Structure 1
């Protein structure tokens, strides 16, 4: 059977990827109450400094975190004072606040308290619990009514030990309306078995409603807008299928190399680090059927159905690459087989996408201009634009490719587009799991890629060398051409400005 295909095309150092809803929201989402403790474990690490604390600061700036209700606790092994941690993160926050917001920044920093301890230390977590409890008492919070959010900005290898300590010493007794919620960062394992083992260990400690598996791609504005664009605009409904869409490319690019994270990256590679989670989530939103409602479980049900319809990956439809100079990183093995680039074709075997691909028709005189394309640009310069063939201005009857353009920075000048992490942290506080990965979804995603990853790990598929800053190996373009996609040249999208 020939099926509709999706191309996942990635690299590091030029990663290439290439009827309306009812008016409702989930009424079960909890409204905010008094006394919230946010505990950032791994508070001295890069993720916490660059993403977690800035996201919390943005929420504080906008009034989503109230000064009288919230307190933030940092926990890590590094010996620091409260002021030491505040100074460490100040530089990551000050450039995000205007000159008139110095006082706001100072007030935010005073909400942060630091506790030092190891991640398997009873004494450390007992001290942490003591500090949290004293804060709750100071807010006149009754036992069992306070909220505790634990953000694990940590390697997945320590999740089980940390979660055991949280369960044993830091749980809020939620029988009176309070709660304890755990946010864990990806990657969730390295293959199907390790992911299931990790899920089983965490599942013994917390129920599914307490676990929030964060994938920051799902917090991006245009990723969230995909469902609205698809299902709230009637002209898309009859077109979004195999008969009218030739192929779908999900493209991810970076213009830098490992830059100090070679040790981490070499353990995972581009497929584990990017494709299996971030890009597969985008694929689900592009390919899924319309959910019954916008309730989180209904949306996640449809995502799982898409993943269950993905056919096994064919080795001949995979191209791997490794950029020249990757092994110069002192933390990378000289014999590393880790791909920094990947092009993978996925085929979805369901009613919407199965069967032969059909190209959109062009007028014969417009062939050189390329095909109609809908581009959803997630970052940077968030935009949605559709490539169209139009008449070139002038007296001659010649054509040129242009676009219908929705650039968020220009169209919504008075609206702050939220960062992914601040949206997802706020969702966690509100108890909204729509943009988090469910356990069965995680399992099916790993089922898709684990056979391929095991073959790569066994050396059965070698990455092809390519130059940094290039489009990747030429073999990747050849694979795309075989799948029916030939890149057209001459069109360049220019983000519009007010100038």
Structure 2
């Protein structure tokens, strides 16, 4: 079961500002109801409800919290509670008791997304829940979580504002990606959303911003002088940010084919990681200072050209079906399931450094990592020596390791690649790493926007990717084939070498920590 647990080593550094980067005066500590729209869907039962229970189990939700599910599916309380608990594991008696308490706080309303009567029934349930609050005179706070497809975002958001907005209390709306399909559709969505909701009330979730290692990037860089000093064009040759999944679309081909791997992963998750990794030092850890710096670095990135992109689509291998074998995929689809692109940040710090983004499905492993490759050592006493690399493993098995050269023990003068290794499971064995959704929902309750996407940040991200997305949609280039379970298209190795300057070590090096994750 996921759970939030935080413990500190004997000595820790204090971070200036509030503990979370938010405004503690706006934290919702009581008189709060959370409405989960799309409560019958996969996202709600797999992520939202387990995250809410994780927070409740560890005492992070307001003491009198109530949770209302809202969806079109008609369900009785028993069926609804079954869905809520489907992906929650409560292995010990104490946790089972907590789960029973949690379910007592969960109720459900069925209604359409575009009809008034459903939201009117929801308002009745909200008022019924609010009658149970300990402080009857306190302002009533409401958080609306949109676990919904983007086609109904703005309609539901407008109905929440019209029928369920709390006058006098704090209102917040959490919106899931995708935020549109390109720059134009994103802007339309944001205009419609902001007709009803203020920017400070909107929390746009990209769950990668809630992952522990992504949140750790600011500390790793700006709290360590030697790392920060090395982050520049004089020392770094190239940077790779890689996302790999070992499975295909598996019956979700209809949804995936509409968006493709670039919209699904690269334009949001990987670009968010890139902006945090490369931004300048913020004035403080407040949400607006952090997001200001992210926007600044994104403005330095020019539009991506097709010659800097490699596309792929997986084919059958053994008993594993190809993308086109999925019955939910349109016949003859040329939608890419793999993409790699090289982009540049034309800032004084990063000019000339290639950033290689890679994302794909049906590959050889599950992995998300950042690989920063430093430049070659000056030639002379060393020849063909392995490049230094700083690797930040986001998932699975969170870790940071620095690949460096050392003299091999013995009488001969021989160098070998080795590593300085921080593997979380060993170093922080007594701590539980919270799930990304737990961290982000807690941030929203605390009013901390630092790990959510701002409207201008979203706009710039789409400006970078929209031209290449329109080119692919219009010109329909045929992607390279790659076998299910492989590392990607055969052309990838040459692409990252020629376009990105990446040099694969000829030494037989394996990071030993992988065997214990």
Q: Does the TM-score normalized on the shorter chain lie above 0.5? A: yes
SS at structure 2 position matched to 1:484: coil
Per the alignment, residue 488 of structure 1 pairs with: 505
Alignment equivalent of 1:423, drawn from 413, 436, 439: 439
Change (3 A) 1:367 1:83: farther
Q: How far 1:364 sits from its partner (Å)?
A: 6.2
Q: How far 1:477 sits from its partner (Å)?
A: 1.5
Per the alignment, residue 292 of structure 2 pairs with: 301
Is the Cα–Cα contact under 8 Å of residues 21 and 232 in structure 1 kept in the other structure? no
2: distance between equivalents of 1:425 and 1:400? 45
Is the Cα–Cα contact under 8 Å of residues 37 and 73 in structure 1 kept in the other structure? yes
SS at structure 1 position matched to 2:439: helix
2: distance between equivalents of 1:22 and 1:33? 23
Q: How far 1:209 sits from its partner (Å)?
A: 0.6
Alignment equivalent of 2:57, drawn from 31, 56, 61: 61
Matches for 1:403-482 after TM superposition, within 5 Å: 403-482=419-498
Q: How far 1:248 sits from its partner (Å)?
A: 0.6
Is the Cα–Cα contact under 8 Å of residues 245 and 360 in structure 1 kept in the other structure? no
2: distance between equivalents of 1:163 and 1:390? 58
Q: How far 1:339 sits from its partner (Å)?
A: 0.6
Change (3 A) 1:360 1:146: farther
Is the Cα–Cα contact under 8 Å of residues 303 and 463 in structure 2 kept in the other structure? no
2: distance between equivalents of 1:245 and 1:356? 7
Structure 2 gaps of 5+ residues are 1-12, 316-321, 355-373
SS at structure 1 position matched to 2:144: strand
Alignment equivalent of 1:341, drawn from 338, 343, 366: 338
Is the Cα–Cα contact under 8 Å of residues 232 and 349 in structure 2 kept in the other structure? yes
Is the Cα–Cα contact under 8 Å of residues 40 and 153 in structure 1 kept in the other structure? yes
Q: How far 1:469 sits from its partner (Å)?
A: 1.2
Structure 2 residue 31 is the aligned partner of structure 1 residue 42:
no
Change (3 A) 1:362 1:21: farther
Alignment equivalent of 2:223, drawn from 209, 228, 232: 232
Alignment equivalent of 2:17, drawn from 15, 24, 28: 24
Structure 2 residue 160 is the aligned partner of structure 1 residue 166:
yes
2: distance between equivalents of 1:498 and 1:347? 36
Per the alignment, residue 270 of structure 2 pairs with: 279
Larger deviation: 360-369 or 488-497?
360-369
1: distance between equivalents of 2:200 and 2:380? 56
Larger deviation: 328-337 or 30-39?
30-39
Per the alignment, residue 9 of structure 1 pairs with: none
SS at structure 1 position matched to 2:175: strand
2: distance between equivalents of 1:336 and 1:354? 37
Across the two proteins, how many residue pairs are aligned to each other? 475
Q: How far 1:238 sits from its partner (Å)?
A: 2.1
SS at structure 1 position matched to 2:241: strand
Could you say what the CA RMSD is over the residues aligned between the two structures, in angstroms? Answer: 2.0
Change (3 A) 1:496 1:338: closer
- Deviations 1:151-196, CA, capped at 9 Å, x for gaps: 100001101110111011100113xxx2111101001000000000
Q: How far 1:496 sits from its partner (Å)?
A: 7.0
SS at structure 2 position matched to 1:454: helix
Per the alignment, residue 264 of structure 1 pairs with: 255
Q: How far 1:462 sits from its partner (Å)?
A: 2.3
Is the Cα–Cα contact under 8 Å of residues 21 and 293 in structure 1 kept in the other structure? no
Q: TM-score, normalised by structure 2?
A: 0.88
Per the alignment, residue 318 of structure 2 pairs with: none
2: distance between equivalents of 1:230 and 1:167? 41
Structure 2 residue 214 is the aligned partner of structure 1 residue 216:
no
Q: How far 1:144 sits from its partner (Å)?
A: 7.2
Change (3 A) 1:97 1:38: farther
1: distance between equivalents of 2:133 and 2:239? 53
- Deviations 1:90-142, CA, capped at 9 Å, x for gaps: 23112x54354221122112211111111112111111111111111221555
2: distance between equivalents of 1:81 and 1:355? 60
Structure 2 residue 145 is the aligned partner of structure 1 residue 151:
yes
Structure 2 residue 77 is the aligned partner of structure 1 residue 82:
yes
Change (3 A) 1:362 1:82: farther
2: distance between equivalents of 1:463 and 1:330? 20
SS at structure 1 position matched to 2:405: strand
Change (3 A) 1:492 1:365: farther
Is the Cα–Cα contact under 8 Å of residues 318 and 343 in structure 1 kept in the other structure? yes
Is the Cα–Cα contact under 8 Å of residues 117 and 124 in structure 1 kept in the other structure? yes
Is the Cα–Cα contact under 8 Å of residues 157 and 196 in structure 2 kept in the other structure? yes
Larger deviation: 489-498 or 318-327?
489-498
Is the Cα–Cα contact under 8 Å of residues 366 and 389 in structure 1 kept in the other structure? no
- Deviations 1:60-100, CA, capped at 9 Å, x for gaps: 1110024x410111111111112211112323112x54354
Change (3 A) 1:390 1:169: same
Q: How far 1:369 sits from its partner (Å)?
A: 5.5
